[in-house]
Amino acid sequence: MTDVLLFTALAVAFLAYALLVLGLIKLLNQRQINQRLKQTHSAASKDAIREPLPVQPDSGWHALLLSMSKLSVPQGNWQNSQLRLKFIRAGFRGPTAAQTYFAVKTTLTLILPLLAALLIFVGSPATTYPRLALYALSLAGIGYYLPDIYLRWMTSRRSDEMRDTLPDLIDLLVICTEAGLGMDAAINRVSLEIARSSKILAEEFNLAALEIRAGSGRSTALKNLALRINLEDLDGLVSMLVQADRFGTSVAESLRIQSEVMRMKRMQRAEEIAAKVPVKMLIPLIFLIFPALLSVLIGPAVIQISAMFSK
């Protein structure tokens, strides 16, 4: 009976590991194809930044993703909920992003407890079944929430990059509007120029420019931009642009004031990080640097005193 359980656990663990490796390989291949398409398309058209052509997923791979994701996909119309918005804010807009996410969540939820149970069963056969079940349930919970942690980390990393680059983008908007360009043309031009500093922010503003070009109103496109990025600074910028467009005030002057405010906030964030450094250095100073320094300073004296008392 024990041999049958061991063989079953090995087979299930190997199958889950193979599915996880296959998913990662497919994801990397799709990313490489998207990068090559983007490079080819940008080389053919240097005047505009366009989205990479959509890659048609393989039917067998798509069916596998659907079958694996059904175990953890939420019920209801989640495509129009906050979960879909989390994918957009994290930068995952591919046709199989949601299926890949839920498939990875299902695979990690199954593979981590099985591998842990297998290792504990082989390394420590005397482990009781309640403790083994506790370990398996804990690792299943970790595997279930690990993709959520990665999604939040990606969103935070994108937000930090866009927050640091936003004042420079507003300066470019001021230059474009003062040079005589309209707001629509300025947004399109800035989405091209800011790509050297932040490709993520350039992509988001390029999507807003494409929405305006497709026929959406400027206010609608800007509000969708603020919804995708979810930054307090950008919310203020969008509100200012909508009000300036509605009441006919000077856009260049409003943008200049907004740029100064955002630059001041960026300086305050840098000063806040610098002020936290001494507090963060206390732990390594107390537990790592001070003991080594004391051992170097007091060590020879302790050796000499112990030698004198030994005589």
Exposure on the CB side of residue 33, measured as CA atoms within 13 A: 12
> Where along the chain do its domains lie?
2-158, 160-278, 281-310
Q: How confident is the model at residue 56 (pLDDT cuts 50, 70, 90)?
A: very low
Residue 196 DSSP one-character state: G
**HSE toward the beta carbon, residue 75, CA cutoff 13 A:** 0
Q: Could you tell me what percent of the chain has a pLDDT over 90?
A: 0
Predicted structure pTM score = 0.64
Least confident among 54-58, 95-99, 293-297: 54-58
Which residue has tokens 């005193």? 305
Q: Give me the count of residues in the chain.
A: 311
Rounded Cα gap, residues 255 and 220, in angstroms? 19
Report the C-alpha gap between 226 and 220 in whole angstroms. 10
Asked if pLDDT for residue 307 goes beyond 50, the answer is: yes
CA neighbor of 98 nearest in space, from 122, 113, 81? 81
Cβ atoms of residues 162 and 229 within 8 Å = yes
Tokens linked to 122: 């082989």
Closest CA to 48 of 198, 196, 177, 188: 188
More confident residue, 207 or 107: 207
Radius of gyration of the CA atoms of the chain, in A: 28
Look at residues 253, 63, 265 and name the one whose alpha carbon lies nearest to residue 177: 253
Q: How far is it, in rounded angstroms, from Cα 98 to Cα 303?
A: 66
What does the DSSP 8-state code read for residue 80?
Answer: G
pLDDT (0 to 100) of residue 166: 87
- State pLDDT tens for residues 257-285: 888 888 888 888 889 888 888 888 888 88
Residue range 160-278 forms a domain whose CATH class is mainly alpha
Q: Which tokens is 250 given?
A: 């000077």
74-102 per-residue burial string, b: 16 or more CB within 10 A, e: under 16: eeeeeeeeeeeebbbbbbeebebbbbbbb
Q: Which residue has the higher pLDDT, 200 or 81?
A: 200
- Please enumerate in sequence order all residues whose Cβ is within 8 A of that of 166, keeping only pairs 6 or more positions apart, or say none: 201, 231, 233, 234, 237, 262
Average pLDDT for residues 111-116, to the nearest whole number? 80
Q: Which amino acid is at 235?
A: D
State the pLDDT confidence band at 75, using cuts at 50, 70 and 90: low
C-alpha atoms less than 13 angstroms from C-alpha of 200 in its C-beta half-sphere: 21
Does position 76 have pLDDT exceeding 80, yes or no?
no
How far the first Cα of the chain sits from its last, in Å, is 69
146-184 pLDDT, tens digit per residue, is: 888 988 998 888 888 888 888 888 888 888 888 888 888
Question: Between residues 193 and 117, which one has the greater pLDDT?
Answer: 193
Higher-confidence position of 24 and 82: 82
* Residue 187 near residue 205, CB atoms below 8 Å: yes
155 and 170 Cβ atoms separated by less than 8 Å: no
Of all residues in the chain, what percent are helix, strand and coil, respectively (each to 5)? Answer: 85, 0, 15
CA 59 from chain centre, in angstroms, equals 28
> Greater confidence, 56 or 176?
176
Most confidently modeled of 19-23, 46-50, 101-105, 278-282? 278-282
Buried b (16+ CB within 10 A) or exposed e, 268-301: eeeeeeeeeeeeeeeeeeeeeeeeeeeeeeeeee
- What is the rounded CA–CA span in Å between residue 122 and residue 119? 5
